[in-house]
Amino acid sequence: MGGVRPPYRSTEEFTMIRLERILVPVDFSEFGDCAIRYGCEFARKFSSETHFLHVVEDAYPMVPEAGMLLPSQTDYIQELKASAERGLTKIPDNKHCEGLSSIVRHVSVGAPFLEIIRYARQHQIDLIVIGTHGRTGLSHMLMGSVAERIVRKAHCPVLTIRPEGHSFVMP
């Protein structure tokens, strides 16, 4: 029952996956922490540049008219942005992300999924690693899913990390 074996292919014939830039959107939640661990592990394995992005939700869509933005609201957005910048300096922690070759941290203001997609395109990101909140039913329908929108619109592969379930990153 000897079948015909396909001819041996050299490794030169195979295309290797190259992940030069990995984007990990950060929302400072426990769900995001899982994504940071995965993103860091991929970055270490591929010697990738790692981008951590936090998006401060823009107040504009919540206000009926643009002229209604009060200086205090503008100050509030700036305070949120400054706080996020301080928070990003602590990411990644050394416990999970030792040995990363290059780290870029950035804070944007706007709609999270739009800003993440825009950032990924502008910086030629090769992989987005994002945590999911695991919402289902009515809360998913009302809140939507940033991760789901990113999967649909991103120009590159997206790895979604659920907070529960199988984990292949060793503690």
Runs of H (alpha helix) within the chain: 30-46, 71-89, 112-122, 137-143, 146-153
SS3 state of residue 100: coil
The confidence band for 51, taking pLDDT boundaries of 50, 70 and 90, is very high
pLDDT at residue number 140: 46
Tokens in use for 149?
Answer: 């929108």
Residue with the bigger pLDDT between 24 and 9: it is: 24
Amino acid at residue number 82: A
Paired residues of 113 in beta bridges = none
The H-or-E segment that residue 57 falls in is: strand 49-57
pLDDT at residue number 12: 56
The predicted model gives 56-76 an average pLDDT of 64
Residue with the bigger pLDDT between 170 and 38: it is: 38
| Largest pairwise CA distance in the chain | 81
What is the rounded CA–CA span in Å between residue 163 and residue 50? 21
The answer, yes or no, to whether residue 129 has pLDDT greater than 70, is: yes
What is the rounded CA–CA span in Å between residue 152 and residue 141? 16
The answer, yes or no, to whether residue 80 has pLDDT greater than 80, is: yes
pLDDT at residue number 115: 96
The answer, yes or no, to whether residue 104 has pLDDT greater than 70, is: yes
Paired residues of 53 in beta bridges = 25, 106
Tokens in use for 118?
Answer: 């825009």
The confidence band for 144, taking pLDDT boundaries of 50, 70 and 90, is low
The answer, yes or no, to whether residue 68 has pLDDT greater than 60, is: no
Tokens in use for 45?
Answer: 């394995």
The confidence band for 130, taking pLDDT boundaries of 50, 70 and 90, is very high
**85 to each of 24, 32, 65, 74, 103, how far by Cα in Å?**
15, 16, 28, 17, 14
The predicted model gives 142-161 an average pLDDT of 85
pLDDT at residue number 92: 80
The predicted model gives 145-153 an average pLDDT of 89
Q: Strand 127-131: give its sheet, edge to edge.
A: 102-110, 49-57, 21-25, 127-131, 158-161
The answer, yes or no, to whether residue 139 has pLDDT greater than 50, is: no
SS3 state of residue 161: strand
